């Protein structure tokens, strides 16, 4: 019986790792899918630490894919500090990596507006009907994205207003069922971002957001003392799966966006959202009432 329970936990870890790796980057809402899986299939909600580790694994996947951009920004950051310390002034336009640092900082600022609402927003995920409706909304956003695509703005020409609006879209996408990547990439395209830059900026923008949320949750878990060393193999299994699947998911998003087919995910979101809404009304009628 113990072995069966252990096998089940590893199976659940693998499933949640795949869901996290796929839905975190494909524009189909990882939080929405996890909420619906837990509701309809009676899957146990992963503990807080496991949730943190899955998100950390997908953060690592972004770092691997965009390692050159990140390395350039880190080097440029220290050059920038050196220029400030020595009093040197730039001549002409700043390097793109330096400008990207500023754009990412500005794009992250709107998240502080939604921090006070974190518990309320997280509670919305408890309603499968609400999550299903938000998946339909995500589908509409994605469907329109290809119509708006084809702009020319990049890291050198995107404005402060542009990145603040994309940041607001990221804050809005904390609502369960709204895809973070789908909402931010679509917002970038609507503002005139070049397709590849919209994808690149969206995933790089996720780094400070995911890292910040991860650190906050780590502090909470550390204070609560919720860590079972026996679950470490299960945690590592889910992390590896989420990271590997996430890497290929990012590559798929980049490919489809470059070909102007990013909106293809809209049909998937509409189907899942519609089926889930129907299930929300039908399943209670099929379930015998408790006596």
Q: Reply yes or no on whether the pLDDT at 99 is more than 50.
A: yes
Between 95 and 189, the more confident residue is 189
CA atoms within 13 A of residue 278's CA, in its CB half-sphere: 6
pLDDT band at 160 (very low <50, low <70, confident <90, very high): very high
Q: Reply yes or no on whether the pLDDT at 164 is more than 90.
A: yes
* C-alpha distances in Å from residue 241, one per residue of 25, 61, 114, 197: 14, 11, 30, 27
Q: Reply yes or no on whether the pLDDT at 153 is more than 90.
A: yes
The predicted-structure confidence for 19-49, as pLDDT tens digits, reads as follows: 888 888 899 988 888 888 888 877 665 566 7
Contact 66, 203 (CB under 8 A): yes
Q: Reply yes or no on whether the pLDDT at 61 is more than 90.
A: yes
pTM to 2 decimal places: 0.86
Mean pLDDT, rounded, for 161-165: 96
Q: What is the pLDDT of residue 259?
A: 85
Mean of per-residue pLDDT scores for the chain? 85
Q: What is the pLDDT of residue 161?
A: 96
pLDDT band at 243 (very low <50, low <70, confident <90, very high): very high
- Percent of the chain at pLDDT > 70 equals 88
Q: What is the pLDDT of residue 290?
A: 45
Q: What are phi and psi of 193, to 5 degrees?
A: -70, 145
Separation of alpha carbons 107 and 67, rounded Å: 20
Contact 142, 257 (CB under 8 A): no
Contact 14, 198 (CB under 8 A): no
The predicted-structure confidence for 251-290, as pLDDT tens digits, reads as follows: 999 998 888 888 889 999 999 999 999 999 988 777 665 4
Q: What are phi and psi of 151, to 5 degrees?
A: -75, 180
* C-alpha distances in Å from residue 211, one per residue of 119, 160, 175, 216: 18, 23, 18, 9
Q: What is the pLDDT of residue 3?
A: 52
């Amino acid at each position: 019986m113990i072995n069966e329970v252990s096998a089940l936990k590893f199976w659940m870890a693998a499933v949640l790792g795949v869901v996290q790796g796929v839905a975190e980057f494909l524009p189909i809402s990882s939080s929405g899918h996890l909420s619906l899986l837990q509701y309809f299939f009676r899957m146990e909600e992963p503990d807080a630490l496991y949730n943190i580790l899955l998100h950390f694994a997908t953060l690592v996947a972004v770092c691997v894919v965009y390692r050159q951009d990140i390395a350039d920004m880190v080097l440029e950051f220290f050059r920038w500090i050196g220029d400030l310390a020595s009093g040197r002034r730039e001549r002409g336009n700043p390097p793109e990596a330096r400008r990207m640092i500023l754009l990412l900082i500005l794009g992250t600022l709107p998240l502080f507006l939604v921090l006070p609402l974190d518990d309320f927003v997280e509670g919305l995920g408890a309603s499968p009907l609400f999550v299903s409706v938000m998946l339909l909304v995500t589908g509409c956003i994605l469907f329109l994205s290809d119509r708006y695509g084809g702009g020319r703005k990049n890291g050198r020409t995107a404005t402060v207003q542009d990145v603040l609006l994309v940041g607001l879209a990221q804050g809005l996408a904390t609502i369960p069922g709204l895809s973070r990547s789908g909402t931010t990439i679509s917002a970038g395209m609507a503002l005139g971002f070049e397709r590849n830059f919209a994808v690149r900026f969206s995933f790089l923008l996720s780094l400070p957001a995911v890292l910040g949320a991860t650190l906050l949750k780590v502090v909470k878990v550390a204070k609560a003392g919720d860590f079972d060393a026996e679950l470490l193999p299960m945690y590592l299994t889910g992390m590896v799966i989420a990271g590997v699947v996430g890497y290929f998911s990012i590559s798929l998003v980049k490919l489809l966006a470059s070909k102007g087919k990013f909106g293809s995910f809209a049909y998937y979101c509409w189907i899942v959202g519609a089926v889930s809404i129907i299930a929300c009304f039908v399943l209670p009628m099929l379930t015998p009432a408790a006596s």
